[in-house]
Structure 1
């Protein structure tokens, strides 16, 4: 339970973002609840420390008040994800946002090949962001170019994968756990992993489990957060 003074002074709120919700929607839900329950100023400070795609679930850190100054620091911390990669087909978005556009052989893929291939992605790697991403190019988001059918050249970026663990193999599905630096696209990791297996792949599930020392185990859904705020406090 939070009070008006606590929210205005600054809080770090841990939210478990539901599937299909945008990060913006989750923050807006909290903003609406806090403003109306606690009689907060219309423009009180609130923001999240790192976007999660609508098709991903898990930890979203939301800061209020003076703690919004910590957002850049929090965004820079290492992140942990779990998820599922589907081997043998690709999509333009590298996940389930778009339909399958190509299929590839998988008969040659063995458990030993999978575990050996993982090693290529640990450490500092070059990675191209997905064409369906919010990065700006020529004044437009990449996904805007993609949806308009425009081809753009995307430059590779340096990123670091600290851990890449395979937790289940049931082809065509592979479950994983990854810890990585800021700016790592797990969709691109899944896509590149498929290429390295001499096949194709796309992401079918993704959950952010940690940001720095913060864990989704201590987070609540937006609906559960609603119940933590006392009504009509003046």
Structure 2
């Protein structure tokens, strides 16, 4: 690996942990991957056809460093999320807990939803009322959700997408950092970008950039 900008030794796990340790808390980091031509998913609609081994290594380091993982319900279903290790908060306006995440240990899976969600009552029964965050009436209030998580001691939040949730987080001004892996692939097709939604203009600055066999692992600090 070659560290093109930043401090730390990217050739060791300890060095990578040092590079990716947040500079302060609270901290909201998003982690996304795309092909060289900008596709966040492959022809199967999954990120697994875009990423590679070095991206997976960083993915696990980011998980280890985080207090909680934030993910949109659609992404959790498509990527067949499981509740192992770091607690997961599913963001869903419908208030539905994905089938694969039901029956987990108490607190392993949480839900951020709205008062008008049709699945609110069922979600409270499934994972416990204390694990359901009602933040907003019809739209999820993301700054309010961040406050709830911080108040519970989950101050390092890792968002793993999808693109719509990341767009909403950026629009709400609550993202501190974007970790973006670019893999050396050209996929064409109609793959989504890493951010979707209404147009935004969010300045970023490069914190570090690692190159490994053509894969670029970038950390971008978001200006607020």
Q: Name the TM tier (shorter chain).
A: under 0.3
Larger Rg: 1
By percentage of residues, which structure has more strand? 1
TM-score in terms of structure 2 length: 0.25
TM-score in terms of structure 1 length: 0.24
